[in-house]
Homo-oligomer: A and B are copies of this chain.
Amino acid sequence: MKTSLEVLKQELLDNNIHLSHQRLKVLEYLIQNHNHPTVEQIFTDLHKDISTLSKTTVYNTLRVLEDAGLVRVITIEGTETRYDIEVENHGHFKCKSCGKIYDFEIDMNVLSSPDLEKFQISDKDVYFKGICPRCSQH
């Protein structure tokens, strides 16, 4: 399991990123909530514990984590930005009915195209949309 707190803490230290109380809380939150939360969700939930927490800090922290490559930003819908602690390549499916985002396994190596021979690819995102099984059975 790549998303253990200790491993991620070490990665932050390796990147010369100070482990502040707030940053650790955001990190823990993402590890415990793999449901691709929005900034609003992260802030609202953490604010219950840390009443002094600022939403700006959540934004700042997520940017730090993103730059360090510890979180992935999901923009499957232009209207909402979501965050994922799981950076290993996998796809995301969003149900148009219930709005839930599902992870799914996918072989990213198969996703090569001759058109991109000379391109340096650093990020691969695969987004599907449709209806999930739970919503299918009307």
The CA-CA distance from A52 to B121 in the complex, in Å, is: 43
Q: Within the assembled complex, what's the spacing in Å between the Cα atoms of A75 and B78?
A: 5
Copies of this chain held together in the complex: 2
Given known pairs A104-B115, A105-B114, the reply for A125 and B123 (CB within 8 Å) is no
A12 proximal to B (CB < 8 A) = no
* Prevailing SS type, chain A contact patch: strand
- Contact residue among B73, B96, B111 (Cβ-Cβ distance under 8 Å from A126): B111
In the complex with contacts A75-B76, A75-B77, A81-B78, A93-B119 CB distance below 8 A? yes
Contacts of A91 in B (CB 8 A): 111, 113
CB-based contact B129/A122 at 8 Å: yes
